[in-house]
């Protein structure tokens, strides 16, 4: 109690807030809840509603020691901020998809205005001893806006998505401004060592010497909670029905937001290659892909959805039997405990994004396995998780033959090897769960000397405390 009073509140800011009891598709909610665990906290984010005037309409709710502040966003700027700049410029660019970037100056300006709006709402609620933790690409300029308003609290930032190399970043006309905004934080955190290197490289290339500390903090999951959910799911109807429906075949599973970064068309084609391969396991596996639609207003998401519908129809049309469909493609979301049961029922986890900051589903699949008969994870080398999960079968998602071979290898892997790999992977997950991640980030941030006078930046580049990706890391 005394210690908490000394350290002050944790103030988290993210585009969306997950209210207690709400189910969200996306890893942020669990992670941020873990970060606030037990401490007095404020969580500020968009309410999901538009404001038509400039009154900064803010609704607050309380649950235990956490206060939720929900901000309506200006209707005129919302589209440019969210769909325009965040999700049609930053998301594709940071996932190395320059071809999908659709940059408009006015969207960038709307994005900056909305960040200022967030900053004004937050600044008036901040106390002197609060520690501010900002999440993700929507809010990169927030700290700079707060400094301009005279806020001198410690401010950390965590980028949940990949940080591209300087040459990719340069495709963005405002890349220098973006880097300067990232550098404004007392601590800027990334998912992997490779992301951190890209950031530091870009700072050096641009001669940006005024910056705070930076580090790699690979995010984790709540390992024991997922394992417990998966154990209890065995007694539940949903898992029982799924197992019964397999008629003796084994299950491969993928769970992804329907997003072009997740490599779903490539995965479907790889599964088709597996079906055509003549391998021992061909015809013995059913592939269940759960893909809840997301960002449905963005055209590129509509495109990938159409492509997947075509592919699933094509592959099933060619390979289905009267009593068997090789791909079950489900555009729906399920409660987390149901998903944990589905993972446990699956002999293979197929997680093959073309680019992913971390990929929590890969970790959740592992945590849900039965120790007596664990499944095998087939994981893309381009997921941040591949830096840690080296005992998985690591594949290149652009090579359908290699992915098909990995599927067959996973299907035939002897129990002993599966257990050895799984135990090693679980030791890593437990050594760096979501609680470790949050504590490590906050401790690093709070160890920084406080800024003086709202603006002077420290110049030290990431030192030995921040750089290395060790066994313990955060999202």
Point out which residues bind ligand GDG (CB under 6 A).
23, 25-27, 160-161, 219, 255, 257, 290, 292, 333-336, 339, 356-361, 364, 475
Whether 259 is catalytic is no
> Nearest approach, Cβ of 336 to ligand GDG (angstroms)?
4
Instruction: Kindly tell me which of 219 and 411 has the beta carbon lying closer to ligand GDG.
Output: 219
> Nearest approach, Cβ of 224 to ligand GDG (angstroms)?
15
> Nearest approach, Cβ of 91 to ligand GDG (angstroms)?
9
Among 465, 221, 223, CA closest to 360: 221
Instruction: Kindly tell me which of 74 and 334 has the beta carbon lying closer to ligand GDG.
Output: 334
> Nearest approach, Cβ of 425 to ligand GDG (angstroms)?
16
Active-site entry in 95, 160, 211, 274? 160
Instruction: Kindly tell me which of 376 and 385 has the beta carbon lying closer to ligand GDG.
Output: 385
Instruction: Kindly tell me which of 44 and 338 has the beta carbon lying closer to ligand GDG.
Output: 338
Residues found in the chain: 475
Instruction: Kindly tell me which of 23 and 458 has the beta carbon lying closer to ligand GDG.
Output: 23
Active-site entry in 77, 356, 408, 433? 356
Instruction: Kindly tell me which of 294 and 396 has the beta carbon lying closer to ligand GDG.
Output: 294
Interaxial angle between packed helices 264-276 and 400-411, expressed in degrees from 0 to 180 and rounded to the nearest 10: 60
Whether 303 is catalytic is no
> Nearest approach, Cβ of 441 to ligand GDG (angstroms)?
12
The first and second tokens of residue 424, run together, are: 């090693």
For 89, other C-beta atoms within 10 Å of its C-beta total: 23
Instruction: Kindly tell me which of 103 and 334 has the beta carbon lying closer to ligand GDG.
Output: 334
> Nearest approach, Cβ of 161 to ligand GDG (angstroms)?
5
> Nearest approach, Cβ of 158 to ligand GDG (angstroms)?
8
Q: Which residues are designated catalytic?
A: 160, 356
């Amino acid at each position: 109690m005394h210690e908490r009073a000394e350290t002050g509140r944790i103030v988290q800011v993210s585009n969306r807030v997950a209210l207690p009891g709400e189910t969200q598709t996306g890893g942020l909610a669990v992670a941020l809840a873990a970060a606030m665990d037990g401490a007095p906290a404020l969580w500020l984010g968009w309410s999901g509603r538009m404001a038509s005037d400039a009154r900064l309409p803010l609704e607050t709710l309380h649950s235990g020691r956490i206060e939720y502040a929900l901000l309506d966003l200006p209707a005129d700027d919302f589209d440019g901020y969210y769909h325009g700049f965040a999700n049609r410029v930053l998301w594709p660019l940071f996932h190395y998809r320059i071809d999908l970037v659709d940059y408009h100056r006015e969207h960038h300006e709307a994005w900056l205005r909305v960040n200022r709006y967030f900053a004004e709402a937050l600044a008036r609620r901040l106390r002197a001893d609060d520690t501010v933790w900002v999440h993700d690409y929507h809010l990169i300029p927030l700290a700079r806006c707060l400094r301009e308003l005279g806020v001198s609290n410690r401010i950390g930032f965590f980028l949940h998505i990949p940080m591209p190399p300087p040459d990719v970043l340069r495709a963005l006309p405002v890349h220098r401004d973006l880097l300067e905004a990232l550098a404004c934080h007392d601590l800027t955190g990334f998912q992997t060592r490779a992301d951190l290197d890209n950031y530091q490289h870009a700072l050096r290339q641009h001669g940006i010497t005024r910056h705070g500390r930076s580090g790699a903090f690979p995010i984790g999951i709540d390992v024991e909670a997922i394992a417990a959910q998966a154990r209890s799911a065995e007694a539940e109807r949903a898992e029982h029905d799924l197992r019964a429906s397999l008629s003796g075949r084994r299950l491969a599973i993928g769970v992804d937001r329907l997003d072009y970064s997740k490599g779903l068309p490539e995965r479907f084609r790889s599964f088709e290659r597996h079906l055509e391969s003549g391998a021992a396991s061909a015809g013995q596996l059913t592939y269940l892909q759960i893909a809840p639609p997301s960002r449905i207003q963005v055209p590129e998401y509509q495109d990938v959805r159409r492509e997947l519908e075509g592919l699933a129809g094509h592959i099933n049309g060619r390979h289905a039997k009267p009593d068997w469909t090789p791909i079950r493609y489900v555009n729906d979301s399920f409660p987390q405990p149901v998903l944990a049961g589905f993972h446990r029922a699956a002999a293979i986890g197929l997680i093959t994004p073309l680019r992913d900051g971390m990929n929590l589903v890969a970790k959740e699949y592992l945590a849900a396995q039965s120790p007596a008969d664990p499944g095998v994870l087939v994981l893309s080398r381009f997921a941040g998780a591949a830096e840690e999960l080296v005992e998985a079968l690591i594949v290149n998602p652009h090579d359908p033959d290699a992915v098909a071979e990995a599927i067959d290898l996973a299907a035939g892997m002897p129990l002993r090897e599966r257990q050895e790999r799984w135990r090693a992977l679980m030791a890593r997950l437990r050594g760096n769960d979501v609680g470790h991640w949050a504590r490590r980030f906050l401790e690093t941030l709070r160890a920084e000397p406080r800024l003086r006078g709202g603006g002077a930046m420290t110049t030290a580049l990431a030192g030995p405390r921040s750089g290395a990706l060790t066994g313990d890391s955060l999202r």
